[in-house]
Amino acid sequence: MRFEPALLLSLVVLTGCDEKPAGPAPSRFASVKKSTQASAAAFCDQSYPASGETARRFVPAPLRPFGAEGEKAKGWTWVNVWATWCKPCVEEMGVLNRWRDAIAREGLPLAFELLSIDESSAQSALEEWAGKNLPGPIRWIRSEEDFGPFLDTLGVNRNAAIPIHVLVDPKGMVRCVRVGAIHEQNYGSVRDLIAGT
């Protein structure tokens, strides 16, 4: 039996897959690991170099006395600007705890500090929080008037909403500032920045 080429082509088309692809074909570079700069840029709203004209030294905010001072971190420091009344801030504490533990298992030096912007009337709420399993010690900003100048040192708009995350390298230089909540999928970007890979 002899098939005509047009008939054969019609049979192939009719019996083929009638599902359409869900989206564009993946790029052949889709699985290639991104560089640290690319992944840090995906996480950070502001990125700064370790040195040079645009580098920024971390200037701690003036603090109220609260809790133990603790010793200065020997590696990277993650400053988490938060408040007890901030729902996204509170919700991400579990993620920060998991990241702290995962980064420690990898042997990377990272300490967390939780910079509260709560008002003076919130002392009992902060003391309650201090008794919980937090990623780091609570520091309490001295006053609302100190918050704006602190944001200026980070290059962040004074109207920015919390949470705000600041990654400070071992030399005390601000390397990354994120305004807004973190998400589980951000872990790789943060880990790469700290590891310097």
pTM score of the predicted model: 0.77
Q: Domains in the chain, start-ordered, CATH in brackets? A: 47-195 (3.40.30.10)
Short-list 149, 151, 191, CA closest to 174 = 151
Q: How far apart are alpha carbons 165 and 3 in whole angstroms?
A: 69
Q: How far apart are alpha carbons 145 and 89 in whole angstroms?
A: 21
pLDDT digits (tens, 9 = 90+) for 108-123: 999 999 999 999 899 9
Amino acid in the structure at residue 105: R
Residue 16: its pLDDT value, please?
A: 45
Bond before 163 cis per omega within 30 degrees: yes
Average pLDDT for the chain:
81
Q: How far apart are alpha carbons 35 and 37 in whole angstroms?
A: 5
Please indicate whether residue 162 or residue 74 has the higher confidence score (pLDDT).
162
Q: Two tokens at 147? A: 């918050």
The rounded Cα 1 to chain-centroid distance in angstroms is: 68
Cβ contacts of 179 within 8 Å, gap of 6 or more? 45, 156, 160, 161, 164
pLDDT digits (tens, 9 = 90+) for 17-63: 444 444 444 433 333 333 444 555 678 999 999 999 999 999 999 99
Beta strands in the chain (DSSP E): 46-47, 56-57, 63-64, 76-82, 110-116, 138-141, 164-168, 173-179
At 83, the pLDDT band (50, 70, 90 cuts) reads very high
Residue 41: its pLDDT value, please?
A: 62
Cβ contacts of 18 within 8 Å, gap of 6 or more? none
CA distances to 25, 40, 178 from 30, rounded to whole Å, are: 10, 18, 25
Amino acid in the structure at residue 154: L
Q: How far apart are alpha carbons 102 and 93 in whole angstroms?
A: 14
Q: Two tokens at 132? A: 């919980």
Q: How far apart are alpha carbons 148 and 153 in whole angstroms?
A: 9
Q: Given a cut of 50, is residue 85 above it in pLDDT?
A: yes
